[in-house]
């Protein structure tokens, strides 16, 4: 099946029961598949009037007690940013898939890119932390969609799957395991007296329990800066406390959230840093380089946000340099540069989108700079 269909199947396996969408190439197949499958499992699909509405409906469904999601591409991702911010501020679990295509604007609708990575990090206004995963195959997007739902429920936050047209439209073998081999998580539920419940008072792990509408908690949920009760408070102190909580629950659980995969890192002189489709390019380049006697390793970012800066920092102490491989003009490259902090040179193999990067380009860069 294609990556898009595998993503939809992963969502269903994770327990997603609401999809609010809007058609957009190259993510439409996710909506199409969900529209056919959700009614069978007691869920609901709705095609909204635009991506702004789609994202709003996803948040509403999350507060009704459903696991909910949407899927889009660059232009739709831009429109969703407003309510993604509401999701972050109100600590609403949900999953947003971005099947990236070339931008800016309408760009290259049918041709892939990885150029929305910084938009995923900073696209909505204000400071915040976000979780973003980047699958590199149809099989992995199946599993990562489940992981994305689990992380969103565990940390009460929107989680992004930052895939790309290449993965989304690629047909590969996907094994769907029996349901009893899939772990699914639910948002922590409140205990104790309903009238004393505080909607944003975190437990030890930094995450507050979350009831659904209709359960008798009389919750107030607002995009205004709010206190632990959820009430708007316009003060420097309330802002600081809310922001600290939103950041702490992600950054304080970095070890649980950040997933990477290392290949040949033990003896590597040169480390390729990559994710998504470009990680496969990088893998091929690494193998070719190794065959030619070059000690090249690969750090594949499975979690892109929060960024694996500790991994880069540790490697920067002992390697000769980094080459970031991504289909954009240097986004995660800037993060590698920041984390390496001058201890190792950082180079980029990237282009402005429309096709994958060939392993030859990566190999040529390695030979050119090291």
Partner 1 sequence: MSATAQASVMAAPEHPLEDLIRSDRIPHIWCPGCGIGTAFAACLTAMKASGIDLQKTCMVSGIGCSGRAAGYVKLDSFHTTHGRAIPFATGLKLGNPELNVVVFSGDGDLFAIGGNHFIHAARRNMDLTVICLNNLNYGMTGGQVAATTPHLARTTTTPVGNPESPFNLPLLAWASGATYVARWTVLHTRELTDCIKKAITKSGFSFIEVLGPCPVNYGRRNREKPLETLRLYRDQTIIRNNADPSDLEVDFTKKVVLGEFVDKERATCIENYDRTCRPAL
Point out which residues bind partner 1 (CB under 8 A).
17-18, 20, 39-40, 42, 44-46, 48-50, 52-54, 56-66, 68, 82-83, 85-86, 212-224, 231-232
- DSSP assignment, residue 329? S
Quote the CA–CA distance of 281 and 328 in Å, as a whole number.
Answer: 14
Question: 3-class DSSP state for residue 184?
Answer: coil
Under 8 Å between Cβ of 159 and 129: no
Identity of the residue, 78 or 83, whose beta carbon is nearer to partner 1 in the bound complex = 83
Q: How far is the CB of 110 from partner 1 (least distance, A)?
A: 27
Tokens of 225: 């800066």
Identity of the residue, 66 or 166, whose beta carbon is nearer to partner 1 in the bound complex = 66
Cβ-proximal residues to 157 (8 Å cutoff; 6+ apart), any chain: 87, 88, 91, 92, 93, 129, 130, 131, 151, 249, 250
Identity of the residue, 231 or 237, whose beta carbon is nearer to partner 1 in the bound complex = 231
Q: How far is the CB of 2 from partner 1 (least distance, A)?
A: 23
Q: How far is the CB of 4 from partner 1 (least distance, A)?
A: 21
Tokens of 360: 């030859």
Cβ-proximal residues to 112 (8 Å cutoff; 6+ apart), any chain: 26, 100, 101, 102, 164, 165, 166, 167, 168, 169, 277, 327, 353, 354, 355, 356
Q: How far is the CB of 98 from partner 1 (least distance, A)?
A: 19
Q: How far is the CB of 19 from partner 1 (least distance, A)?
A: 10
Q: How far is the CB of 264 from partner 1 (least distance, A)?
A: 46
Identity of the residue, 143 or 197, whose beta carbon is nearer to partner 1 in the bound complex = 197
Q: How far is the CB of 9 from partner 1 (least distance, A)?
A: 19
Q: How far is the CB of 270 from partner 1 (least distance, A)?
A: 46
Quote the CA–CA distance of 41 and 326 in Å, as a whole number.
Answer: 38
Name the residue among 75, 82, 64 with its Cα closest to residue 104: 75
Report the phi/psi class of residue 213: left, alpha or beta, with left for phi > 0 and alpha for psi in -120 to 50.
beta
Identity of the residue, 47 or 287, whose beta carbon is nearer to partner 1 in the bound complex = 47
CA terminus-to-terminus distance, the chain: 40
Identity of the residue, 85 or 206, whose beta carbon is nearer to partner 1 in the bound complex = 85
Burial of 221 by CB count in 10 Å (0-12 exposed, 13-18 middle, 19+ buried)?
middle
Identity of the residue, 44 or 184, whose beta carbon is nearer to partner 1 in the bound complex = 44
Identity of the residue, 83 or 139, whose beta carbon is nearer to partner 1 in the bound complex = 83
Name the residue among 216, 139, 151, 208 with its Cα closest to residue 176: 139
Tokens of 98: 């971005």
Name the residue among 358, 356, 329 with its Cα closest to residue 169: 356
């Amino acid at each position: 099946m294609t990556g898009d269909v595998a993503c939809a199947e992963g969502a269903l396996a994770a327990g997603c029961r609401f999809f609010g969408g809007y058609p957009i190439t190259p993510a439409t197949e996710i909506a199409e598949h969900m529209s056919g499958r959700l009614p069978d499992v007691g869920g609901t699909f709705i095609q909204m009037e635009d991506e702004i509405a789609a994202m709003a409906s996803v948040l509403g469904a999350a507060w009704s007690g459903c696991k909910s999601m949407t899927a889009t591409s660059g232009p739709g991702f831009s429109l969703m940013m407003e309510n993604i911010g509401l999701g972050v501020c109100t600590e609403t679990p949900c999953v947003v898939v971005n099947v990236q295509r070339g931008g800016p604007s309408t760009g290259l609708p049918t041709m892939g890119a990885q150029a929305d990575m910084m938009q995923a990090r900073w696209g909505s206004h204000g400071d915040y932390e976000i979780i973003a995963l980047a699958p590199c195959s149809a099989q992995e997007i199946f599993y990562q969609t489940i992981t994305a739902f689990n992380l969103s429920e565990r940390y009460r936050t929107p989680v992004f799957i930052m895939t790309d047209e290449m993965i989304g439209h690629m047909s590969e073998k996907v094994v769907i395991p029996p349901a009893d081999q899939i772990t699914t998580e639910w948002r922590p539920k409140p205990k104790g007296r309903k009238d004393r419940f505080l909607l944003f008072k975190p437990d030890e792990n930094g995450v507050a329990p979350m009831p659904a509408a209709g359960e008798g908690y009389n919750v107030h949920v607002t995009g205004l800066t709010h206190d632990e009760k959820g009430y708007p408070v316009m003060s420097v102190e309330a802002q600081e406390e809310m922001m600290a909580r939103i950041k702490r629950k992600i950054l304080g659980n970095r070890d649980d959230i950040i997933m990477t995969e290392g290949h040949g890192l033990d003896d590597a002189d040169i480390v390729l840093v990559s994710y998504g489709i470009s990680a496969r390019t990088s893998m091929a380049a690494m193998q070719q380089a190794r065959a030619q006697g070059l000690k090249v390793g690969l750090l594949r970012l499975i979690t892109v946000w929060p960024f694996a800066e500790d991994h880069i920092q540790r490697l920067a102490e002992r390697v000769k340099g980094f080459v970031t491989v991504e289909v954009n003009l240097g986004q995660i490259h800037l993060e590698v540069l920041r984390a390496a902090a001058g201890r190792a040179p950082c180079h980029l193999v990237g282009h402005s989108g429309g096709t994958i990067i060939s392993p030859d380009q990566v190999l040529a860069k390695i030979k050119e700079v090291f």
